[in-house]
């Protein structure tokens, strides 16, 4: 995820905030120092570029801006450039970028400026209607210099300010955001009002901090922790005016409101984890946001679905007669789920391969084959080599990745990015859910391109996915119930996971998570395969975890549950809320909201993540760094 920081402090003030370090000076040393320190504290989130803007230096030209795009060395480059910053700034904003729209580059780095160069803006989130707004602004004569959706905001605010100068910066921001669809957290500065930062948010987090002589702004508590412990939360569609030592917040209708206070006693490490005990639990609870962000900005102004990068025509998509999906680990399980969706909606036969095996079996590919590579990092060597081989054989290549401009993305004919933000925990959680979401979007896109679904029907199905973040959030609210089930079976030496149809990849992912985190033996099987061998493993007390939500094969699944139950197994079932018929066959139930069956894995896998996490914690394991595992596999 991107990071935001801002500070406004009166000229010449010497106050240092509640916990500032001795020896800090006033003016630019304070403003610039706070910004650079805050950006460094946001490095743990991952970033590919960074930048900052200062306003109010009396010996400057109104606004000074610097950006750097050198991967994880961007902050070092930015710090060197800041040595030439003008002295005496009264306010400033900074940003670390995790690219979504536009490749990692200096032009695409934040802050973005308006045409005058007197206003600058930093933005987290996604502007869904940026193409439509950009077309309007270009027609007005605005020059957009980047590939980002964020720059559109700067010019839109500039346009509103020019149309009604009397409205001021706050009014222009309010008017501009009235045109915006999507999620955002933004901070704006203008050289004409050098002690003011205007901030607003919708969905994307943003909070403010207050000290005697300064006011702070950040997307994350760690960025400004130590300068203050007295924070205020900005709610959706509220707008804040930050001036030295003061905050004024107004509702969408302009009515002044009191922001909710938040006092933080965490240390810096706990703050990075938002108070969670580890990064994995934090990232598990970020999953509603990861799903929501991946769904955003997927429609063109004409209502048709769109990918992020496409160099394959609809005619070429219509000529495709076979799909291969290649992936590893959790990405492979997401690909298994995609098989059901693509075959159902796009009416294409789909094969799925473990990426490390794909190119060694001499696959039959040609120009009518689509190969989909799925990788969180976009650097997984097995998957990268598989799609490269596919390209050499003439196939069309499409990549699902969480990292913009990754090696796999550069190799592909089309790319669909997940928007989970950086994942620090080694075991995939939020990136896995984002991958399933993206693959469902891809299935609808293929159906639209191949005309097996009308654009209206594809759009309706995409709209139906909009409920998924809330359903994931509901599943997460049951974490303590899942922990109680894990406690009951903490001494079990092994587990069997079962699922049918779309429940099968969920079972595989549940078993993988348990192996990765708790180091216990866990195997996932298609439930119908039990009688072909695996049922020999079942004896009195064997713990069998079944995915038994109401899919079209629910009755078949319950028959398999009866088979293991009759042989003495202890049965734990993932079941839909209120489904007592399923619950009476179980010794314990992991409840989830009911969901359209092709979307169900996005919700059904959540309690299995929580179950594995809880067992690992009960056994005293480091969930962020499971033994023997690496986040990205870069050797075959």
Coil/strand/helix, residue 69:
coil
Alpha carbons 223 and 34: distance in angstroms, whole number: 9
Alpha carbons 31 and 90: distance in angstroms, whole number: 7
Instruction: Show the tokens assigned to 247.
Output: 């905050």
Q: At what angle do helices 329-346 and 503-518 cross, to 10 degrees?
A: 170
Check if the beta carbon of residue 419 is closer than 8 Å to that of residue 296: yes
Kind and range of the H or E element at 9? Answer: strand 3-9
E-assigned strands of 70-218? 91-97, 112-113, 119-127, 182-190, 193-202, 207-210, 214-218
Active-site residue 2, yes or no?
Answer: yes
Choose the catalytic residue: 2, 339, 396, 430.
2
What is the layout of strands, in order, in the sheet containing 193-202?
A: 112-113, 119-127, 182-190, 193-202, 239-243, 246-250, 256-257
Q: Which of 499, 497, 529 is nearest to 513 (CA)?
A: 497
β-strands 230-233, 214-218 pairing: unpaired
Choose the catalytic residue: 115, 339, 531, 631.
631
Instruction: Show the tokens assigned to 336.
Output: 């298994």
Exposure on the CB side of residue 260, measured as CA atoms within 13 A: 8
What is the layout of strands, in order, in the sheet containing 543-547?
A: 521-526, 494-499, 543-547, 570-576, 588-592
Check if the beta carbon of residue 381 is closer than 8 Å to that of residue 412: no
Q: What are the backbone dihedrals phi and psi of residue 227, each rounded to the nearest 5 degrees, phi first?
A: -90, -25
Instruction: Show the tokens assigned to 46.
Output: 């991952």
> 475 vs 133, 411, 472, 602, 611, CA distance in Å?
36, 37, 5, 10, 12
Residues in a beta bridge with 4: 95
Alpha carbons 417 and 292: distance in angstroms, whole number: 13
Q: Would you name the residues annotated as active-site residues?
A: 2, 631
């Amino acid at each position: 995820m991107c990071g935001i920081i801002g500070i406004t402090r009166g000229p010449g003030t010497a106050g240092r905030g509640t916990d500032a370090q001795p020896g800090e000076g006033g003016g630019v040393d304070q403003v610039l120092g706070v910004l650079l320190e805050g950006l460094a504290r946001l490095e743990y989130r991952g970033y590919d570029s960074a930048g900052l803007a200062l306003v109010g230096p009396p010996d400057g030209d109104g606004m000074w801006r610097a950006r750097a795009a050198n991967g994880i060395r961007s902050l070092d480059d930015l710090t060197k450039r800041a040595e030439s910053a003008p002295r005496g700034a009264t306010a400033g904003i900074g940003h670390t970028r995790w690219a979504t729209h536009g490749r990692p580059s200096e032009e695409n780095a934040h802050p973005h400026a308006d045409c005058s160069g007197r206003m600058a803006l930093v933005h987290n989130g996604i502007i869904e209607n940026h193409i439509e707004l950009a077309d309007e602004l270009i027609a007005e004569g605005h020059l957009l210099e980047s590939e980002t959706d964020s720059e559109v905001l700067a010019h839109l605010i500039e346009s509103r300010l020019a149309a009604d100068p009397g409205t001021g910066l706050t009014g222009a921001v309010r008017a501009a955001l009235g045109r915006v669809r999507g999620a955002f957290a933004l901070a704006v500065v203008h050289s004409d009002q050098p002690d003011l930062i205007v901030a607003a948010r919708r969905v994307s987090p943003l909070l403010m901090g207050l000290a005697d002589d300064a006011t702070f702004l950040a997307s994350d508590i760690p960025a400004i922790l130590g300068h203050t412990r007295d924070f205020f939360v900005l709610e959706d569609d509220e707008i804040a005016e930050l001036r030295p030592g003061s905050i004024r917040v107004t509702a969408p209708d302009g009515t002044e409101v009191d922001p909710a206070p938040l006092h933080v006693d965490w240390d810096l490490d706990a703050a990075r984890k938002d108070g969670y005990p580890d990064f994995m639990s934090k990232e598990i609870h970020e999953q509603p946001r990861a799903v929501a962000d991946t769904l955003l900005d997927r429609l063109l102004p004409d209502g048709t679905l769109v990918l992020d990068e496409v160099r394959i025509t609809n005619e070429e998509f219509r000529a495709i007669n076979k799909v291969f999906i290649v992936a590893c680990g959790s990405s492979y399980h997401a690909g298994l789920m995609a098989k059901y969706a693509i075959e159902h909606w796009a009416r294409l036969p789909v094969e799925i391969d473990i990426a490390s095996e794909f190119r060694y079996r001499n696959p039959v590919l040609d120009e009518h084959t689509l190969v989909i590579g799925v990788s969180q990092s976009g650097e997984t060597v097995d998957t990268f080599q598989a799609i490269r081989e596919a390209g050499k054989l003439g196939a069309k290549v499409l990549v699902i990745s969480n990292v913009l401009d990754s090696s796999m993305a550069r190799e592909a004919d089309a790319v669909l990015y997940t928007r989970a933000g950086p994942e620090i925990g080694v075991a995939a959680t939020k990136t896995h859910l984002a991958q399933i979401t993206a693959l469902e979007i891809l299935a609808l896109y293929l159906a639209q391109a191949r005309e097996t679904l009308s654009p209206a029907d594809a759009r309706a199905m995409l709209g139906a996915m909009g409920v998924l973040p809330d359903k994931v959030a509901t599943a997460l609210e049951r974490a303590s119930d899942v922990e109680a089930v894990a406690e009951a079976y903490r001494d079990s030496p092994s587990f069997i996971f079962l699922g049918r149809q779309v429940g099968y990849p969920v079972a595989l992912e549940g078993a993988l998570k348990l192996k990765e985190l708790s180091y216990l033996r866990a195997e996932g099987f298609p439930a119908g395969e039990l009688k072909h061998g695996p049922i020999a493993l079942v004896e009195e007390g064997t713990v069998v975890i079944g995915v038994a939500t109401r899919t079209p094969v629910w009755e078949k699944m319950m028959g398999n549950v009866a088979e293991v139950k009759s042989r003495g197994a202890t049965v734990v079932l993932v079941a839909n809320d209120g489904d007592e018929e399923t619950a009476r066959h179980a010794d314990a139930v992991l409840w989830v909201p009911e969901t359209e069956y092709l979307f169900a894995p996005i919700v059904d896998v959540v309690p299995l993540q929580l179950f594995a996490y809880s067992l690992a914690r009960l056994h005293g394991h480091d969930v962020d760094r499971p033994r023997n595992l690496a986040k990205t596999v870069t050797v075959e």
